[in-house]
Amino acid sequence: MPILAIESSCDETSVAIIKDGKILSNIISSQYFHSKYGGVIPELASRAHLKSISDIYHQALEESKLSIKDIEAIAVTNQPGLMGSLVVGTNFAKGLALRNNLPIIPINHIEGHIYSSYLENSDYDFPSVALVVSGGHTALFYVKSYSEYEIIGLTRDDAAGEAFDKVSKLMGLGYPGGPLIDKLAKEGNPNFVEFPRSMINSGDFDFSFSGLKTSFRYFIQKNFEGEIDLKSKQDLAASVQSAIVDVLVAKTIKAAKKYKVKTIAVSGGVSANSELRLKMNESGNKIKIKVAFPSIRLSMDNAAMIGFLAEKKYINSTQDDFRNFTFVASSNSLRARYR
Ligand code: KG4
Ligand code: ZN
């Protein structure tokens, strides 16, 4: 049952076709032009989605060698995200579904990330602890099945990806900062500065990254004047990265032990981080719990993860469950559900 999925919640426009849990196509177009502004400009993002979505839809069908007549349902991210960006994807999806008389499956973007590491590791078991780390979210979930999960921890302020991006900006590097810090850190000394590991021993599963950014700013204001030399950039990148990764790994492992899970699933843009992959795998091995990461391409925003989860929901429902076209796009964050 091929499902055509659409993702446009932030600055990636993506259309994928999923059949029986496998990717037939997954076209992702990233809006790199935001880098010159140092962050995503919502109005420009929605205009760029509007410009490219139809082309991306046609490319996805072409690559899958299917036509719209072969598609059984349309899936679309309807929350959370940038309002104007979500509206482009949901309206495109509604138009397609109405014109082709197809059911439509609204999917929560974060839920898409939670299960994205199962797309390429379908043999991994539940229950799992899922860490979703991206530019907009840092959250831990206890996941029982494809339909049952609960939030067990959330960032109280900045997301981990936001911390990477802000620190990168403070060092005069580009946006997105995560990949740049990751690259520089490979040549740096992680013990150069002992940045704070906020809330590492807080006893709950919440996170906080805004203090790290502040302490980083004070450190460079105090110790550097003007342009920071390359060696210091490498050492600073390694030090800040290890502070972020230490907290993410410590909390996830603690949750995995407490909930006695079979799998640790890590996803979202920051899950591409090489140090996070290394440390989480090492720590998971030590306690004999499998660690699942999506491939780098599926760690970023993509429609394949939306289609994958939509198929799971669709299999367990009747077509009538997905004939409701009145759902709306919503920017709602996880916090609204958690607190
Ligand atoms: O999931 P994503 O593509 O979009 C959001 O939903 O936010 O995540 C983007 C975030 C950015 O903050 C970016 O800096 C971060 O993921 N990121 C990384 C790496 N690659 C992307 N952070 C650390 N290391 C990386 N290699
Ligand atoms: Zn995302």
pLDDT > 90? residue 20:
yes
What is the pLDDT confidence band of residue 324, given thresholds at 50, 70 and 90? confident
Return the ∠ at Cα 187 (arms to 182 and 192), rounded to 5°.
Answer: 90
pLDDT tens track for 173-226 = 988 999 999 999 999 999 999 999 999 999 999 999 999 999 999 999 999 988
Using the atom order of ligand 1, give the atom closest to the CA of residue 301. 3
Rg for the chain, CA atoms, rounded: 20
Q: Is 189 helix (H, G, I), strand (E, B) or coil?
A: coil
pTM here is 0.94
pLDDT tens track for 132-179 = 999 989 999 999 999 999 999 999 999 999 999 999 999 999 889 999
Mean pLDDT confidence for 99-123: 94
Instruction: Tell me the C-alpha distance between 334 and 137, whole Å.
Output: 8
The rounded percent of the chain whose pLDDT value lies above 70 is 98
Instruction: Name the residue of 111, 116, 134 whose CB sits within 8 Å of the most ligand 1 atoms, as the mutation to test its pocket.
Output: 134
**DSSP secondary-structure letter at 155?**
B
Q: How many angstroms separate the alpha carbon of residue 299 from the centre of ligand 2?
A: 8
Give the per-residue pLDDT at 32. Answer: 86
Nearest to residue 92, comparing CAs of 15, 148, 166, 40?
15
Q: How many angstroms separate the alpha carbon of residue 231 from the centre of ligand 2?
A: 32
Find the length of the chain.
339
Give the per-residue pLDDT at 122. Answer: 81
In the chain the domains, ranked by start, together with CATH numbers, are: 3-113+299-337 (3.30.420.40), 123-293 (3.30.420.40)
Sign of CA dihedral 263, 196, 214, 181: negative
Are 195 and 243 in contact by the 8 Å Cβ rule? The answer is yes
Give the per-residue pLDDT at 249. Answer: 98
pLDDT > 90? residue 27:
yes
pLDDT > 90? residue 337:
no
276 lines ligand 1 (CB under 6 A): no
pLDDT > 70? residue 335:
no
Nearest to residue 10, comparing CAs of 159, 131, 201?
159
Instruction: Tell me the C-alpha distance between 120 and 123, whole Å.
Output: 9
36 alpha-carbon distance from chain centroid: 22
Instruction: Name the residue of 270, 279, 295, 298 whose CB sits within 8 Å of the most ligand 1 atoms, as the mutation to test its pocket.
Output: 270
Neighbours of ion ligand 2 (CB under 5 A): 134, 301
Using the atom order of ligand 1, give the atom closest to the CA of residue 11. 4
pLDDT > 60? residue 339:
no
Give the per-residue pLDDT at 62. Answer: 98
Nearest to residue 288, comparing CAs of 264, 312, 259?
264
pLDDT > 70? residue 18:
yes
Mean pLDDT confidence for 263-288: 97
In this structure, what is the dihedral angle of CA atoms 123, 128, 129, 130, given to the nearest 10 degrees? 40
pLDDT tens track for 243-272 = 999 999 999 999 999 999 999 999 999 999
Residue nearest to atom 22 of ligand 1 (CA): 178
Give the per-residue pLDDT at 327. Answer: 85
Number of H helices, E strands in the chain: 11, 10
Return the ∠ at Cα 176 (arms to 189 and 209), rounded to 5°.
Answer: 65
Q: How many angstroms separate the alpha carbon of residue 61 from the centre of ligand 2?
A: 23
Give the per-residue pLDDT at 316. Answer: 82
Q: How many angstroms separate the alpha carbon of residue 238 from the centre of ligand 1?
A: 17
DSSP assignment of 108-146: EHHHHHHHHTTSS-TTPPSSEEEEEE-SS-EEEEEE-SS
Mean pLDDT confidence for 290-315: 96
Nearest to residue 152, comparing CAs of 135, 119, 127?
127
Contacts of 136 (CB under 8 A, 6+ apart): 10, 80, 81, 159, 161, 162, 333
Give the per-residue pLDDT at 123. Answer: 83
Query: What's the chain's average pLDDT?
Result: 94
